Amino acid sequence: MNAILLGAPGVGKGTQAQLLTERDGFVQLSTGDILRTEIANGSELGLSAKGFMDRGELVPDSVILNIVSLRLDKNKSFLFDGFPRTVPQADGLSNLLTSRGMKLDYVISLELPVEAIVERLSARRVALKSGRVYNLLFNPPKVEGICDISGESLIQRSDDKPEAILVRLNEYNMKTEPLKKYYEQRIGVASVNADGDMETVYRRVKAALT
Ligand code: AP5
Ligand code: MG
């Protein structure tokens, strides 16, 4: 099954993708996580993406489609988290799937008021290697500053500062929000209320995936 988790920055895409991966065998494909790993490794791709990401802007479509194309050959089904984010990316995904005899089954759009988004992002901490996401207010690690699973130090993402959060929200509204209409006209979109604790949202997402 191939599904897309759409939604504004901080709405909980990564958190839900993590739960669906651990509990239901989904394979998460997060372009944001892949780019952050490339930056941490100091690769050429990472260096080319870093400026865009730090400012909160989208990375060019061609870069993203290359990354996804390479990953698609490694599995048969995916949970796309943070991809696609523009109409050209959505068209690109459609071509990539068709050429592999794959198709998209679900598009889930997580919905949350902007005040809650800003609150969640400001208190987020992440483990870079494992990609695990925590929140100082809503989902703290057992030991302060340390990932429960990998033991690595938690960091605050460089794009979780107020200026970059505003740019990301604006990029979302201008370039990604239109994808809801795009997919409504093609396979349909299930809107899921992301206001609620993680387990409540998880149950709603699961229900939308059947
Ligand atoms: P990306 O990594 O995709 O970031 P994003 O879309 O801005 O989304 P976030 O990861 O910030 O939020 P999320 O929805 O995953 O929320 P999370 O689960 O962490 O992209 C980063 C950058 O990379 C982009 O700005 C761009 O530059 C580039 N990029 C990536 N993909 C790209 C693409 N396809 N095209 C172009 N550029 C691309 O949750 C947020 C916080 O809330 C956490 O602390 C979490 O613990 C907490 N939380 C989650 N759920 C709940 C809940 N139910 N209740 C309380 N707290 C909760
Ligand atoms: Mg994320």
Q: pLDDT tier at 130 (50, 70, 90 boundaries)?
A: confident
Which atom of ligand 1 lies nearest, measured to the CA of 31?
31
Q: pLDDT tier at 131 (50, 70, 90 boundaries)?
A: confident
Which of 135, 147, 176 should be mutated for ligand 1, with most atoms under 8 A from CB?
135
In short, whether 12's Cβ falls inside 6 Å of ligand 1 is: yes
Encode pLDDT of 170-182 as tens digits.
Answer: 999 999 999 999 9
pLDDT of residue 159: 93
pLDDT of residue 179: 98
Q: 201: which residues sit within 8 A by CB, 6+ positions away? A: 12, 15, 16, 110, 192, 193, 194
Q: pLDDT tier at 48 (50, 70, 90 boundaries)?
A: very high
Task: Give the Cβ contact number of residue 136 at 10 Å.
Answer: 14
